[in-house]
Amino acid sequence: MTIFLRFKNQALLDCALTHRSYVNEHRDVTEHNERLEFLGDAVLQFVVSEELYRCHPELSEAQLTRLRSKLVDEPQLAKFAKILDLGEFMYLGQGAIKDGGQNNPALLSDTFEAIVGAYFLDAGIEAVQGFVRSLFKDAIDTLIVPESKKVSSKIIDVKNRLQEWALANYKKVPEYFLIEELGPDHAKEFIFGVQINEQLLGTGKGRRKQAATKAAAQDALNKLSIFDELG
């Protein structure tokens, strides 16, 4: 196994690799990785934030936020999961396997977060920090321009841009809400809306809630030119 993490509790690792679709097809298995995914997401946010804050004092709060957003988004976490060969070891239901779940970016990203959550419970925050530093270093380096130490324009986060606009114009932050949840467990799609003053600004669809809210923010930004006032 390519995972260079040593688990004292093998059950935690097994749970982190178990997708809901596998549990649905195996009555002897009762736990899937969604709770660990929830925990891992929060741990990653903290650890990446601390690493960026410690190593890059030259970056502003806005730059740090944008860089962190890019480092923990679905495409980047899926890349990390592929580095660890997680797809080869994920426990998936037959439907998910037939649909290519081992290479599905959303499933890989979710599993990576679950692995982080499990490792935090198994080994503690310092172990996770060491793991993140070694794995994320190259990604951080490629997102920061060495000469100027400025964050690449590629990582401007649309949700941050929409929030800045909303605060400047309405002294409120945008509200994101779930409109619809579609598809089977192994191929979920979420449709989110974003609103201010109860007026819909945009909608977006994604395989993860984070992707769907970003798509909604992008849709809102694309439409802002026609919103002279929100009423």
Could you read off the pLDDT of 36-55 as tens digits, one per residue?
Answer: 999 999 999 999 999 999 98
Catalytic residue among 113, 122, 157, 219: 113
Query: Residue 175 phi/psi, 5° resolution?
Result: -110, 125
Q: Kindly report the number of other CB atoms within 10 A of residue 204's CB atom.
A: 22
User: Is 41 in the active site?
Assistant: yes
Does the pLDDT of residue 119 top 80, yes or no? yes
Strand partners, 182: 189
CA distances from 214 to 117, 179, 207, 219, 227 (A): 24, 14, 11, 9, 19
Confidence of residue 27 (pLDDT cuts 50, 70, 90): confident
Amino acid 180: pLDDT: 95
Amino acid 148: pLDDT: 39
Query: pLDDT tens across 171-221, in order?
Result: 888 999 999 999 887 778 899 999 999 999 999 998 888 888 989 998 999
Q: Which residues of 6-43 are buried (b: 16+ CB within 10 A; e: fewer)?
A: ebeeeebbbbbbbbbbbbbeeeeeeebbbebbebbbeb
Strand partners, 104: none
Does the pLDDT of residue 103 top 70, yes or no? yes
Confidence of residue 151 (pLDDT cuts 50, 70, 90): very low
Share of the chain above pLDDT 90, in %: 54
Catalytic residue among 41, 51, 110, 157: 41
Give the count of alpha carbons within 13 A of 125, CB side only. Answer: 10
Q: Can you list the domains of the chain with their CATH numbers?
A: 10-147 (1.10.1520.10), 158-225 (3.30.160.20)
Averaged pLDDT of the chain? 86
Does the pLDDT of residue 70 top 50, yes or no? yes
By CB neighbour count within 10 A (0-12 exposed, 13-18 middle, 19+ buried), where does 146 fall? exposed
Where are any strands of DSSP class E within the chain? 144-145, 150-151, 175-182, 189-196, 199-206
DSSP 8-state code for residue 8: S
CA-angle at 109, arms to 12 and 176, nearest 5°? 110
Amino acid 4: pLDDT: 64
Does the pLDDT of residue 64 top 60, yes or no? yes
Nearest alpha carbon to residue 213 among 190, 183, 192: 192
Confidence of residue 22 (pLDDT cuts 50, 70, 90): very high
